Chains A and B, each alone.
Chain A
């Protein structure tokens, strides 16, 4: 859907330039599209849908530096969501992988699904298991909304250590989500 593609791309591009509100709107709308996309493909195990949605959102965020503004957003998001879905299905065995319908990139933005279910794995709990140098920056910057400078003062970490802690911590969360299945 051309309108959706354009609007979401605009939000993401502004988000990548540092506009947090646009980025929030992008992720919020994207999560509804991802949910519809994943639900259609996890017909046999609907309980896993929200986990994959969250994992894909985290992946989109962690890999957002690989988006190139001249590239169709649908193709980029679809490749990420499909990668996470295939990775998930592989763990269930090859038969599982063959039984679910995976392709058709173009229809990603056609459907939305706002009915968020509970994820089975709690990212909040996984966060608690991270080492302090990653956990504290994420808690202060990403959950409490404090600035990097303030977080640096609170934790005694340098400002660059705070930024690195957030970055590596979110990557570590993604790895824990993948292993924790």
Chain B
């Protein structure tokens, strides 16, 4: 088939295309993914029993804000990386700002605490399980966001896969924060971050294979 014949074939009967394809797909993926992650958390781990009490403490909201800002930043990054030629714009700075803010808070917390408090502030009671539970809760969003990306057109596959994984990890952390008993900034700055980076690394690893078109 000659190229002008191909052009004619492609244009013939080409109907109108619904606008805002990326936003629609991501809304679906995030809605179902976050719902499934929350259900998974409620069924396997349970919401922390003292959630009403915890919600009165500023650190609880700092934790939710940290995971929420990272979710927002990685959502913007993932959507942009799903479309050819779209610039990343402010997404990386938003992500970096959220992490740096938590690290600054951690530094202040450690600076004010006596040396013997450092270990409990950094390790809490749950450092062994926290990253893996966040990674586990990231699975539904991970699958949903890969589905969303496969219907769009990422051109930087490793980066796009990494962003998909990071979005899954940050959403997982947001959901996990409703179960998690830890509130110390040093803990959140280390173990939450590791938990979110596990699916991001998996995404970067799988991206080139799963997202090709």
A binds B: yes
- Residues on A facing B (Cβ under 8 Å): 15-18, 20-21, 23-24, 27-28, 31, 35, 50, 53-54, 57-59, 61-68, 71-72, 74-80, 82-83, 87, 105, 116, 118-119, 122-124, 138, 141-143, 145-148, 163, 166, 170, 174, 178
Taking CB atoms, residues of chain A closer than 8 Å to B9 are 138, 142-143
Given contacts A16-B16, A24-B11, A123-B1, contact A174 B213 (CB under 8 A): yes
Q: Would you list the 9 A-B pairs with minimal beta carbon distance, nearest first?
A: A18-B16, A75-B85, A79-B84, A79-B85, A24-B11, A63-B153, A65-B21, A83-B155, A124-B1
A142 touches B13 (CB 8 A): yes
B179 interfacial by beta-carbon distance below 8 Å? no
- Residues on B facing A (Cβ under 8 Å): 1-4, 6-19, 21-22, 82-87, 152-153, 155, 212-213
> Min CB distance, B23 to chain A, in Å?
9
Q: What would 5 more interface pairs be, CB under 8 Å, given A123-B6, A141-B12?
A: A18-B15, A20-B13, A66-B152, A82-B155, A123-B1
- Would you call the interface of chain A mostly helix, strand, loop, or mixed? helix
B10 touches A142 (CB 8 A): yes
Taking CB atoms, residues of chain B closer than 8 Å to A166 are 13
> How many A-B contacts are there with CB distance less than 8 Å?
122
Taking CB atoms, residues of chain A closer than 8 Å to B83 are 66-68, 71, 76
B11 touches A80 (CB 8 A): no
> Min CB distance, A56 to chain B, in Å?
10
> Min CB distance, A53 to chain B, in Å?
6
> Which residue in A57, A68, A78, A174 is a CB contact (below 8 Å) of B7?
A57
A54 touches B3 (CB 8 A): yes
A50 touches B3 (CB 8 A): yes
Taking CB atoms, residues of chain B closer than 8 Å to A50 are 3
> Which residue in A57, A65, A124, A142 is a CB contact (below 8 Å) of B12?
A142
Taking CB atoms, residues of chain A closer than 8 Å to B16 are 16-18
B84 touches A83 (CB 8 A): yes
Rounded to whole angstroms, the CA-CA distance of A68 and B153 in the bound complex is 12
Given contacts A24-B7, A79-B84, contact A65 B17 (CB under 8 A): yes
Taking CB atoms, residues of chain B closer than 8 Å to A16 are 16-17, 19
> Min CB distance, B6 to chain A, in Å?
6
Rounded to whole angstroms, the CA-CA distance of A78 and B86 in the bound complex is 11
Taking CB atoms, residues of chain B closer than 8 Å to A62 are 213
